[in-house]
Amino acid sequence: MVNFVKNNNYSKDWKRITICGGGNGAHALMALLAENSNCQLTLYLPLEQEFQHFEAVKNRRIPFRLIFKDKEFSVTMNRLHITSNPKEAAADLIILVVPAFTHEDILNALAPYLRSGTVLAALPARGGFEFQAVEILRQHKKEEVVIAGFQTLPWACRIKEYAKCVEIYGQKKRVGVASLPCHHVDSISMAFNKFLKLEFLPYNNMLELTLNNQGQIIHPGIMYGAFSDKLSRFYRRDEVPLFYRSVDENSAGLLEAMSQEILKVKKIIEDNSSLKLEGVISTSQWMVESYAEDIKDKSTLSKMFRTNLSYQTLRVPVKPVDGLYQIDVKSRYLTEDIPYGLLVSKAIAELADVPTPTIDEVIQRASKWVGVQYLINGKLKGKDLVKTRIPQNFGLKSLKAITEMVTKDHPY
């Protein structure tokens, strides 16, 4: 069941909190914050359709329902202000719970109204959020804004009824968090520990967050390893394969190979700088640390996926086709987790002179499915790189430049 926290003194500084987004994660976070805090809450919805929908539900005073592991809770939303105006979204803490490809537009919309001392957080950050956020804040001369990012979304969750009900299927035991400047991370992690009732693990720097983005491995890796031979098939709704339970030993081996390539990048950076990256861990270790007792069989990575209670009901993304369903290769598992994840780590690996043959294989195949070009002969020379968050797009063309940026007190 949900163990709601009634201690509202988690931060004497955060009196106003804004949640940006209207998706699965935003629904879950909104319900938990409404229950666990007495802060003034704002839901910022830049998409007019989402704004109109939420506003209509609120005006009818319909209680919001949160389902957590088959137990249902009614959450009062009378303190929630809903807006599509970025000026009204200004707050002490702003949390972006949106796909990474929307970060740029939202950051540019919010930036003129950010106040000194505001904490601007991405939940999750995905790869390269720090590069993009610093660039935008620099352009808007917002030197006193603190950037924070979370390694992953804490919950496996799905909207049951838009603006009315969300179900949380599982919750991770711990989630990594980092900040820029780095010294703010302890206070941020302690605050989130209290009002979300799980452990937020402070990372040394935001590069740890980018390299330890496990979604960049798991989502594209499973799409390629478990489903590449099923893309032409059509399914009835009840036949759509379960995503994580489809991980066999071969696809798990692919994930482990991708993970090891990123760990080699970590070693090169640590060997050639004073940067600490102990938060960058293997996918197997991350699974155990994140889900702990939810995993019934920890003997192999494939069995971890298949026996993880939090993963039992989640299916592969599909699209409707003539009354049936086909695997959707343009889902966020590829359109977000590659340009805002795996490709960022590939770019850092290239700066570190670390070969990444398995990562390259996944990027190349997925790029063809989506219809984009990132790599040519394994190198970052594709025409669509400009749309990604690789560090080179932000003038960071060496490991030294990256390590200096993520450790500066005033990176802007």
Residues taking part in catalysis: 219
CA distance 149 to 375: 27
Neighbours of 9 (CB within 10 A): 8
Q: What is the DSSP string of 152-217?
A: S-SEEEEEEETTTEEEEEEE-SEEEEEEESGGGHHHHHHHHHHHHTSEEEEPSSHHHHHHT-THHH
Q: Which residues pair with 226 in a beta bridge?
A: none
Query: 350 with 379: CB under 8 angstroms?
Result: yes
Helix 343-351 vs helix 399-407: crossing angle, to nearest 10: 120
The amino acid occupying position 255 is: L
3-state secondary structure 64-105: EEEEECCEEEEECCCCEEEECCHHHHCCCEEEECCCHHHHHH
Q: What angle do CA 312, 313, 314 make, to 5 degrees?
A: 105
CA distance 64 to 19: 16
